[in-house]
Amino acid sequence: MAPPASSETAAYVALGRVGKTYASPRGPVAALVDIDLDIRPQEFVSVVGPSGCGKSTLLKLVAGLEGTTFGTIDIGGKPLDGTPDRLGVVFQRDVLLDWRTILDNVLLSIEFTRKPTADERARAVALLNRFGLGGFEHRFPWELSGGMRQRASICRALLADPDLLLMDEPFGALDAMTRDDLNIELAQIWQDTRKTLLFITHSIAEAVFLSDRVVMMSKAPGMVVDVITIDLPRPRLLAVRDTPEFAAYVHRIRHHFAELGIVKE
């Protein structure tokens, strides 16, 4: 499949010279400096960087959970005001509510503002089935494994059919095997729905496997050091990871991080 959009297409998310500074007892601390980033509609963009580089802060800024100190964020062609409309977020932890069943947790994103329709309930059940959670609708979160819980939280983010999906290291707390499974499932669901997706991770392999473009960030204060277009064929199966092309991308990103003294080679 061809890359999703040419560079002329108007960006869905546009960050212009975005900076974020936090106050601290010892004066202001810069978390993010001069971030320029355009995400085109239906593009899968990953941000990779060492821990503490501000990549989660970047996601919070786009989600409208925190305000920028400098620069502008435009979403859908309009300056960001509050939280974006039609937004889905998946956090590192699943943040499911313990007193709600899995189905009710998935419906929560709608229930915050209105009563879900029968149609939406059916959609929620279908989503859960799609993610292998059929039969667990009426279970409680604490009866499920970590991987199943995170799947449910992805269903919750997808239920309202958002235009923009933000994921903050969603598989960071999972074991390697579950993580592989979820990578494949996410690649498939993205293939089907083509959401504009901003994915934060510290795994280079995960970023290369999933993304159209990988944004590399430096150590704190976070700056964009490189943006790499991943030109691997889609749909991607796990076997992609055994190809020399895949290895070359991972090596290139790793090598670049090593040159910057961020990882050892």
Partner 1 sequence: MMRFARRLFLGDNETRDVVVVLAAALVLWEIGVYVFQPSPLILPAPSAIFAAFLETPGLFLRHLGFTLWMTCLGFVLAVVIGVALAVGIVYSKFLERTIYTLLVALNSIPKVALAPLFVIWMGTGPEPKVAIALMLAIFPIVIDMVLGLRSVDPDMLALAKVSKASPWAVLIKIRFPCALPSLFAGMKVAISFALVGAIVGEFVAGSRGIGFQILVAQGQFDTVRVFVSLLLLGVVGTILFFLVDYTERLSLPWHVSQRGRHQSSADRA
Tell whether omega for the bond before 221 is within 30 degrees of 0, i.e. cis. yes
Single residue of 6, 27, 77, 142 touching partner 1 by CB under 8 A: 142
Nearest-approach distance from CB 224 to partner 1, in angstroms: 24
| Extended beta strands in 8-101, E state | 13-22, 29-39, 44-48, 70-75, 78-79, 87-90
- Percentage helix, strand, coil for the chain under 3-state DSSP, each rounded to 5: 35, 25, 40
Single residue of 34, 42, 50, 139 touching partner 1 by CB under 8 A: 139
Nearest-approach distance from CB 62 to partner 1, in angstroms: 10
Rounded Cα–Cα distance for residues 39 and 127 (Å): 26
Single residue of 91, 121, 173, 226 touching partner 1 by CB under 8 A: 91
Nearest-approach distance from CB 247 to partner 1, in angstroms: 35
Q: Tell me the per-residue interface mask from 21 to 60 with partner 1, x by CB under 8 A, - otherwise.
A: ---------------------------------------x
Write out the two tokens for 189: 């669901």
Neighbouring residues of 209: CB distance < 8 A, sequence distance ≥ 6: 183, 187, 236, 240, 241, 246
Kindly list the residues in this chain that would bind partner 1 in the complex (CB under 8 A).
60, 63-65, 83, 87-89, 91, 93, 95, 97-99, 101, 108-113, 138-140, 142-143, 160
